[in-house]
Structure 1
Amino acid sequence: MSTVDTVDVADLDAELGSLLTGSLTTDPDILATFSRDESLYSPDGTPLALVRAHSVDDVVTTMRFAHAHGIPVVPQGARSGISGGANAVDGCILLSVKSMDRILAVDEENKTVTVEPGIINLDLKKALRSYGLAYPPDPGSVAMCSIGGNIATNAGGMCCVKYGVTREYVREITVVLADGTLTRLGHRTVKGVAGLDLAGLFTGSEGTLGVIVEATLKLVPLGPDPLSALATFPSVKAAVQTVAAYMATGATPSLLEMMDAKTIGMVNALGDFGLDESVGAVLIMQSDSTTAAADTEAFAAVATDNGAHDVAFADNAQDSEMLVAARRSAQPAWEHYAQAHGGGQLLDDVCIPRSAMAEFCDRVDAISDSTGAMVAVIAHAGDGNMHPSVFFDTADGASVARAQDAFDQIMALGLELGGTITGEHGVGNLKSEWLARELDEGNRRLHRSLKDAVDPTGILNPGKMLEHL
């Protein structure tokens, strides 16, 4: 492979210039800005250059150049991830597709939309409303995350409990492979079993197999405005026991979220949402069905039976959105708290069976106590996706060590309880060592073989998800 010292990117700059679309920069200040995603404690390297792609040709040209010279490439979208998946590695080309953000076609009859990868999830949702259509995947960072990044990480979010994750909405993707080959994967039709499910394989591959440049997505009819309810509990354990009991009734909420007491305080400090800080936890439930009023009443009954202090109802769309906005503010509130208390945050993303949530929460409390690490917890509780966040002072070695110990114990606990190390945030470089622990040897061998077949020189997003397999 070529080294940074021997590669002259002027030739790539000239090629992109001749296309009259893409742009390349080696400005150190700009490179530093693009070298990290939103993760607060993931390593990053020094890139060789940044390419801002505006077209498929820009991506093809960049990948051909990188392949010819053995230069690592780190694909990027909005850089809203929190696992270090878009962070630079030394000597890489950062390949940003953020500016490729158009809606290319809306097919109302077949209920699909074709988009470029840089379009922001919320912008797509807003554009589809005039067609009476909706794109359900709804990450917490919906206002800033891109569809390409959502596909690359198989993003989830708050509505997964009813609507599932991104993979279930990807019909067809156009991908640029490591050598610059442009290919279409998947089918635009509702059904299609010709060949292997390569679109499914690339969804969630975190930029290690190819660069997504176009996607055709399944849509659903736009539903009625949802109604919501908020229940307060004396403890996190009581809240998650309510979740298990409520979901066992066969309920299909469109959202069922949990925040613990520490998070409630941080959210109030960030946005003055007026949440009750004297409680141990809150659950926010939402229904977008035609029986929403009855659904919220049923939730209230189960919550009361499981020890809820109080249940409040949001009986109009505006109040419902305020409750959801409070939950969406949890991660920004965590980041604000972290920056004010030493700058460190390690965010777990453990998904476990709902039946194991109470034990998980009890043992996370025990881990926090035994390590002395500060841990706050939120959850997409309806589908068992737990997000404990460990806070620490990056300038204090002992604080860092305590946080890393707590983070590792929580990851191990998730696996012990039959879960996975990531339900939606992706592996990135934050959890790459843990992926090797979750997968057995046969599974690891399949991953290695697929990576070698698609990217034989290993230039696509090295040092990330597949690094330790």
Structure 2
Amino acid sequence: MSLRLADGLAGALPGSRLITDPDVLAGVGRDQAQWAPAGVALAALRARSGEEVSRAVAACAELGIPVVPRGAGTGLSGGANAVDGCLVLDLSKMDSIVEIDVENMLAVVQPGVVNNALKAAVAEHGLWYPPDPASAPWSTIGGNVSTNAGGLCCLKYGVTRDYVLGLEAVVGGPGGAYGTRLRLGRRTTKGVAGYDLTGLFVGSEGTLGVITEVTLRLRPARPEAPRTVVGAFGGLAGAGRAVAELTSCGLVPAALELLDRVCLEAVEDWRHLGIGASAEAMLLASVDTPGAAGDEEAEAVRAVFLRSGADWAELSGDPVEAEALFEARRLAYPALERLGPVITEDLCVPRSEVPEMLARIEEIGRRHGVRIATIAHAGDGNLHPLLLVPPGDDTARTAAEAAFEDLLTAAIGLRGTVTGEHGVGLLKRRGMQRELPLGVRAMQRAVKQALDPLDLFNPGKVTGDDPGL
């Protein structure tokens, strides 16, 4: 049966470069969520144009073959993992920056454009694209849009959704036959003509259609290098108090990142950045307010760090040192991966609850006997506890999986959410069902059914029903 389907798909897509090699399919059939299940794809296609995506979706609809879109594969929830018998639609080769409109401060890009490549391109025109996930050197705009990625600067400048003006998607259902290309949204800064269908696609993880082009708003480039404030704390509790105090004082740095000692040691052992790893927790704040006001703001942040119990807090005037510190934050996840399997959480709680959530992370780790490293976009309450498991230790893995679920429950109990920016994918479906009321989940399923009646697009993700959940 699979062979007949593969032959039928190849016949329906003359000239397309279908991939059927099992080793290659295994490589493109999953993202970076090591413990999320993945099926066996029927084939993969590295699409080169929106028209090719359209033809592929139409052919898959005719043959009953599920479509799983994929960008760079940097996801951490299993959202791009293959399902059995699917076509993996790899969009990484659709990597053209179609337009940079300097006058209107926007860019039109294909989904395979890498985040940092877009930043570099618009910087040449005195412009800036703020969303900056830690995976920005590798992750693609299509994947960022599909998960509504945040990043280090989202505290002050917002997340991906805040920059998506419009998009083109290949859809099915009421928008037309499967394979229809539709443009959603606009190029203007305002617009309320009808429902916000663009916003609906942002964060939908490829379950409503395949994004083939994105129109993004840009900002003027920042006029000067940000000031960096570093605070070293004797524990996570003190760092959490500093985060809550900054919020209550109305201070909003451009970035406010947390790393614990485990993360700092892992990065230093790997890359030897010279950052030191003696503190139990470190807060990094970036202040980009220009002029004297920025100097005052940076000093106010430093004062809050000290009042909250920092062992020391300093303003870094050395841009090389500042870059090394934030590079350590970006490298924390791959550095920890070198130590063994990692389960990555993506909790988000109200900023006032950050101290309590940090305390619960430590308690859950102790209770389950699981080593947990913590990094965070602390300023907006988005915490990433990383559960570390010795390779090949099934008992430790079982304990880590139990701790994972307890962390989700703890975040929900503090009026938070199970995912701030990584997406639901496969790993967070149980948590999402605990977080969202039954009526809300029913609305989500209704939207999916209306826009994708064949359940063709990335089936089983986000709203997927599982009798075991």
Q: TM-score, normalised by structure 2?
A: 0.95
- In structure 1, the gaps of 5 or more residues are 339-343
The offset of 1:50, in angstroms, is: 0.5
- In structure 2, the gaps of 5 or more residues are 173-177
Query: How far apart in 2 are the matches of 1:112 and 1:231?
Result: 36
Aligned to 2:185: 186
Which deviations, in whole Å up to 9, do the C-alpha atoms of 1:110-135 show, x marking residues without a partner? 11000000000000000111110001
Matched residue type, 1:300: R
Q: Which residue among 22, 28, 32 is the counterpart of 1:28?
A: 22
Does the 8 A contact of 1:229 with 1:314 survive in 2? yes
Q: Which residue among 148, 164, 171 is the counterpart of 1:170?
A: 164
Aligned to 2:216: 217
Aligned to 2:2: 4
Aligned to 1:298: 300
Query: How far apart in 1 are the matches of 2:308 and 2:382?
Result: 21
Does the 8 A contact of 1:433 with 1:468 survive in 2? no
Does the 8 A contact of 2:32 with 2:76 survive in 1? yes
CA RMSD of aligned residues (A): 1.4
The offset of 1:186, in angstroms, is: 1.0
Which deviations, in whole Å up to 9, do the C-alpha atoms of 1:334-386 show, x marking residues without a partner? 21122xxxxx2211100001111111111211111111111111110000001
Q: Does 1:120 align with 2:122?
A: no
Query: How far apart in 2 are the matches of 1:39 and 1:359?
Result: 27
Q: Does 1:38 align with 2:38?
A: no
Aligned to 1:140: 134
Which deviations, in whole Å up to 9, do the C-alpha atoms of 1:381-427 show, x marking residues without a partner? 00000111111145332111100111010000000000000000111
User: What is the aligned residue count?
Assistant: 458
243-252 vs 58-67, which moves further = 243-252
Aligned to 1:277: 277
Aligned to 2:175: none
Instruction: Give the SS at the match of 2:167.
Output: strand
Query: How far apart in 1 are the matches of 2:275 and 2:402?
Result: 31
The offset of 1:5, in angstroms, is: 5.1
Does the 8 A contact of 2:247 with 2:352 survive in 1? no
Query: How far apart in 1 are the matches of 2:72 and 2:4?
Result: 30
Does the 8 A contact of 2:8 with 2:63 survive in 1? no
Matches within 5 A, 1:354-393: 354-393=351-390
Query: How far apart in 2 are the matches of 1:134 and 1:93?
Result: 35
Query: How far apart in 1 are the matches of 2:433 and 2:171?
Result: 25
Change (3 A) 1:4 1:356: same
92-101 vs 305-314, which moves further = 305-314
The offset of 1:312, in angstroms, is: 2.8
Query: How far apart in 2 are the matches of 1:30 and 1:441?
Result: 40
Q: Does 1:331 align with 2:310?
A: no
Instruction: Give the SS at the match of 1:167.
Output: helix
Query: How far apart in 1 are the matches of 2:273 and 2:245?
Result: 28
Matched residue type, 1:118: G
Does the 8 A contact of 2:46 with 2:90 survive in 1? yes
Query: How far apart in 2 are the matches of 1:67 and 1:164?
Result: 37
Matched residue type, 1:136: P
Change (3 A) 1:98 1:73: same
Aligned to 2:70: 76
Change (3 A) 1:400 1:88: same
Query: How far apart in 1 are the matches of 2:136 and 2:417?
Result: 23
Which deviations, in whole Å up to 9, do the C-alpha atoms of 1:133-163 show, x marking residues without a partner? 0010000101000000000000011111001
Matched residue type, 2:197: L
Aligned to 2:51: 57
Aligned to 1:341: none
Matched residue type, 2:273: F
61-70 vs 295-304, which moves further = 295-304
Matched residue type, 1:232: A
Identity of aligned residues (%): 42
Q: Does 1:458 align with 2:455?
A: yes
Query: How far apart in 1 are the matches of 2:11 and 2:188?
Result: 40
The offset of 1:274, in angstroms, is: 2.7
Query: How far apart in 2 are the matches of 1:84 and 1:167?
Result: 21
The offset of 1:307, in angstroms, is: 1.1
Does the 8 A contact of 1:436 with 1:468 survive in 2? no
Aligned to 2:91: 97
The offset of 1:429, in angstroms, is: 0.7
